[in-house]
Amino acid sequence: MEARWEREYSREELADYLASLAAQIRRGELQVAGLTQKLPPQAAAAILLKEKKGRLVAKLHLSFSTLASYPPSQRETLASQKESFKASKKRLAVSWAALKKAAAGGKLPENGVLADFLRDSDAFAQQVDPEWQPEMDLYLSHVHNLEEAHRLGQAEMFHHELADIQASLSRCHKEFK
């Protein structure tokens, strides 16, 4: 379930929308994409307000657990998927760092380091949300090119793909985080 939009608001319209959002949060029910979601008493929040070069920026990120609204059997499944996703993401981060370190100085890494990264990339790709698929497809194409460059012994092409993978990761994190 997702609702996302960008548009210009007058100050009054924006204040009314935020007041409506605050009232829903106080009631413990939030309307999202036509569905009412029950909210727990606690939320994680990240709030950023800054002025930089003549522009005021405000960012609000709220996170509420919705597991309580699921039947017990689904709750357990969702909780284990979340934990599995986090573990997979951590393994990928470790093998990505090892790959970059091994490839420092323009070298090609050992086969085992690359194999770990390929295994962890594949495992991670199996768990992503469908909304991430276009970015994941791009990432996987770079991973394939990286593997091919390594197989051919093409250090320059390998390092080009490393840079492309880093850019892909940055775009994905910016878009979906």
Q: What is the pLDDT of residues 99-109, one digit of tens each?
A: 999 888 888 99
Mean pLDDT confidence for 69-79:
77
Segment 2-18 mean pLDDT: 86
Query: How far is residue 97's CA from residue 92's CA, in Å, rounded to a whole number?
Result: 9
CB 123 within 8 A of CB 84: no
> Are 39 and 63 in contact, with CB atoms under 8 Å apart?
no
Domain around 33: 11-69
In which residue are the tokens 């017990």 written? Answer: 72
Tell me if 3 is assigned to some domain: no
Question: Is 100 in the same domain as 126?
Answer: yes
pTM to 2 decimals? 0.54
What is the structure's pLDDT at 152? 94
Please identify, among 19, 52, 69, the residue that sits at the C-terminal boundary of a domain: 69
Q: pLDDT class for 160, splitting at 50, 70, 90? A: very high
**pLDDT of residue 90 exceeding 90:** no
The two three-digit tokens of residue 119, written as one number: 């295994």
Which tokens is 63 given?
């996170």
Q: Are residues 92 and 165 in the same domain?
A: yes
In a domain? residue 4:
no
Is the pLDDT at 84 greater than 90? The verdict is no
Distance in angstroms (rounded) separating the CA atoms of residues 80 and 1: 20
**pLDDT for residue 64:** 79
Q: Are residues 122 and 105 in the same domain?
A: yes
* Mean pLDDT in residue range 9-36: 89
Tell me what pLDDT residue 68 has: 74
Asked if the structure places residue 6 within a domain, the reply is no
